[in-house]
Structures are given as C-alpha cells and as structure tokens.
C-alpha cells in the first residue's frame, strides 16, 4: 500500500486503465475526469451523476476502475458498492470523498472498496490510487490510513490467528513496511503472482479483507521482520 505519490513508469504497450468517475457535483466530476484523462495510461470512459447511473454504465462499458463519491442522491452508496463487487469481472472501486470519519472508511473497505481517497488529495495521488486499484492493490490517503490503524487498535482483540509459514512471514513483514507487490517480489526474489498468492493466504489467516486491514493488524500486533521468529504467528 502507498500513502504517498510515487512515479509510475508508463509503457506504451500497456493497456489503458478504463475508468468511470461518479460524482453528483458536475464541476468536481468533470475536473477529476479531465485530470485523469491527461494521464497517458488512463482512459476516462464515462461519468455518472449518481449510483444508479454508475451501475447502468458499468453494465454497458468495459471498465477497470470506478471512482465513486460517497454522498450522492438516490441509492445508498454502500449498496451500490456491494452490487458492483458482486458483478462478474467487476471493476475495482475507489471511494472519493471529503468524509474521513472512521465509520465511513471501515464500512466501505469492508464492503469491498479498493481505495479511499480524500477530495483534497492532489490529482497525482488520485491517479496513483487508480493505478493501484487496477493492479488489485489498496491505496488510502494518509489520514485515512491512520484512522484504519486506530480503528484496529481500539477494536476488541480477535482470537489468535493461525500460524503463518516462513515465506508468509517474510511477505507480511514487507507489506507492513509499505511495499507494493512488485517491490515485495523484487526483495524476496519471487514473482509478483507468487506474492499475490501468499497475500491471499495471509488475509485468510488473519481474517482481514484488504491490504489496509492487514497492515493495521500488523502494526497493532507489533509484527516486524526483526521479531517475526519470536512472534506468536511464527510457525
């Protein structure tokens, strides 16, 4: 997961990331769509004014990522999000909002959102969040990440998690340091696909659904590469 923008190499042969921007404020929606369309690797395929409009366009268009505002007229956004995530080959959803309250954040992440971006983020960071979602990763604005960590810390302790294998410990330790899948793969000399496989197992064992929740779990439990062998999770 990334909480700060970083340059992402763009290769001419790479397919465009197909995006839908859903926001009920025309000026905001058009500004975001314009900024994204300036990126060489992003194609804005549509704009929606509410959740139902977004669903109709998702069914009609081939999309990779949907930027979804939380407060729009009509259907509840969380219901729209859940419906999107249940679609075959569903696009990844990134929440775009001014709300940084923990209850909003956790509800959307648990419902399947792949990102939570505050509207005061720079256009560059919104693009970074879109790219991360397209890769199947989670991107959270820095204040949002802190809320996730605090939420995990104050929640009642969960039952002890099953043991992680030695390789899963290594992958988990790198994840907690904020490295993305490719960086973890490079560090451990394994493929990015193998990293995704291990992360899936880690999420299942920890009982979490997202990269953000896994990172927060690790921070809460003081899990690190240095103490992983002595940690209760160690096999």
Domains of the chain, residue spans? 17-145, 156-235
**In the CATH hierarchy, which top-level class contains the domain 156-235?**
mainly alpha
Pairing of strands 42-48, 65-69: unpaired
What pLDDT score was predicted for residue 226?
A: 47
What pLDDT score was predicted for residue 141?
A: 87
Dist. CA 53–CA 103, nearest whole Å: 25
H/E segment holding residue 131: helix 123-134
What pLDDT score was predicted for residue 93?
A: 96
pLDDT per residue over 171-214, tens digit each? 988 888 778 899 999 999 999 999 999 898 888 888 888 888 88
Tell me which CATH homologous superfamily contains domain 17-145: Response regulator (3.40.50.2300)
Query: pTM of the predicted model, to two decimals?
Result: 0.62
Beta-bridge partner residues of 68 = 22, 95
Residue 106 DSSP symbol: H
Residues of the chain with pLDDT under 50: 5, 7, 157-161, 225-232, 234-235
Decide: 84 and 106 in contact? Cβ < 8 Å: no
Tell me if residue 79 falls in helix, strand or coil. helix
Dist. CA 232–CA 127, nearest whole Å: 38
Please, is 87 exposed, middle or buried when counting C-beta atoms within 10 Å of its C-beta (0-12, 13-18, 19+)? exposed
């Amino acid at each position: 997961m990334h909480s700060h923008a970083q340059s992402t190499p763009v290769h001419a042969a790479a397919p465009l990331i197909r995006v839908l921007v859903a926001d009920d404020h025309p000026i905001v929606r058009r500004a975001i769509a314009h900024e994204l369309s300036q990126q060489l690797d992003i194609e804005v395929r549509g704009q929606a004014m509410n959740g139902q409009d977004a669903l109709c366009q998702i069914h009609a268009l081939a999309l990779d990522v949907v930027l979804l505002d939380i407060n729009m007229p009509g259907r509840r956004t969380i219901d729209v999000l859940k419906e999107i995530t249940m679609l075959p080959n569903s696009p990844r959803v990134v929440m775009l909002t001014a709300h940084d309250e923990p209850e909003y954040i956790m509800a959307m992440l648990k419902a399947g959102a792949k990102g939570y971006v505050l509207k005061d983020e720079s256009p560059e960071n919104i693009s970074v969040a879109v790219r991360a979602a397209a890769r199947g990763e989670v991107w959270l604005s820095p204040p949002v990440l802190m809320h996730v960590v605090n939420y995990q810390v104050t929640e009642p302790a969960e039952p002890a998690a099953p043991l992680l294998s030695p390789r899963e410990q290594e992958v988990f330790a790198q994840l907690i340091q904020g490295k993305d899948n490719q960086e973890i793969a490079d560090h451990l000399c394994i493929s990015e696909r193998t990293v995704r496989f291990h992360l899936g197992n880690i999420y299942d064992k920890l009982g979490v659904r997202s990269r953000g929740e896994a990172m927060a779990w690790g921070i809460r439990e003081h899990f690190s590469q240095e103490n992983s062998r002595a940690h209760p999770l160690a096999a």
